[in-house]
Structure 1
Amino acid sequence: MTSIVILTGAGISAESGLGTFRDEGGLWAQHRIEDVATPDAFDRDPARVHAFYNARRAQAAEARPNPAHLALARLEAKWPGDVLVITQNVDGLHEAAGSNNVLHMHGELSGALCHACDHRWPAPLVMDAQDACPACGARATRPDVVWFGEIPYHMDRIDPALSSADIFVAIGTSGNVFPAAAYGQHARRMGAHTIEFNTEISSASRDFADHRRGRASETVPAWVDELLAT
């Protein structure tokens, strides 16, 4: 049976009100990545990093899945083969839409991680630099997200999935963040049919055989309809 692997980036959640890196006036536009999304930034000023992610967590809590998220959940439920969503997003919109087979390669805003002992637990809506780890008691709690310079999660599952995919799809990704930026090239080299959904040409567009331009909330449901009708 045909297996489908789908990579999603910030563009799929943009229509749910969660800004991308490049959105003017958005959370990312107000902060330098070096100040809020690296291990060094956390070591220098954990309070500032927590404040940034508290704002993102609050924003994500108010967001709702859009038709693109819902279409992917419908595809997983009705497709006779395997459907795996690999997301670069740290929100929970895929799960809220009904998707079950989701890998968060960059972690999740809903998780907390101890910088000292690696214990994980559900994050409260507001985290603080003085919060104690429930396992070891260290005041070294951080969001359970992958920062720039850190190794993404679930690589042991992602690499085999890419190698065995019959169809590889990228939705709303810029093609600038590795290793995800190379997934289209790798999947195509391994024999997958590759499709890119984006509003514009990305840095990785050349790695895809098929391109669907437009809003994800329109193009993704239309593609899912096509697949399920075959």
Structure 2
Amino acid sequence: MKDNRGVYIALTIIALWFISLTLLLTQYEVDFYSPLTYLLVLVQAHLYTGIFITAHDAMHSVVSPNRLVNEWIGRVCATIFAFNFYDNLNRKHHLHHRFVGTERDPDYHGGNFWVWYFNFAKQYINVWQIIFMAITYNVLKAFFPNTNVILFWMLPSIIATFQLFYFGTYLPHKGEHEPDNVHKSRSQAKNHVWAFLTCYFFGYHYEHHNSPRTPWWQLYKEKERMIEKVG
């Protein structure tokens, strides 16, 4: 990127996540009979997904043209998302792009959904994350209602993990691909609203592998360009 639009978008997602979480921990009285409670959990999960997608864009150096700003935002977002280590994510994600769909791809596994998810999680979860999450949980519940902490801090991050895996890894890469599919990736049908709601346009996954330096908020244009090219 040659301008700072990516920075503004990243900071907006971070701010929305932080403001939402703060209000949900301090102001919202949980009512399990209210559909609003479950909707708010899903909204918070969607913001968590946006946090991770922002860290992902930083790995491709498309959040900011300034390298230090780009990396700083990437590290902050990776930390917010369950204390992931940015350097580990960055190294393995580039291996995924380089060796996509092979035994050297850390994101790929040929098993069913649950076997694949378990192996995927093993690549990124470590004991330090679990320790930091446990400490943070105990600190938060000392100041805020425990139910709110579980529903709006813990559960959304778990939902977002499944959301990212299912729409951004499993569906695009599972099964066999045509021999001429150099990216070993498939893509959602064109539906920009659904693509945004499910995984910030990363269901347009072939497009991402074909143009990895296109930020998430421009992937819909890459989808349209590819359709026009084929048509």
Q: Same fold (TM over 0.5)?
A: no
Higher helix share: 2
Select the structure with the greater relative contact order (CA < 8 A; seq sep ≥ 6): 1
TM-score, reference length from structure 2: 0.28
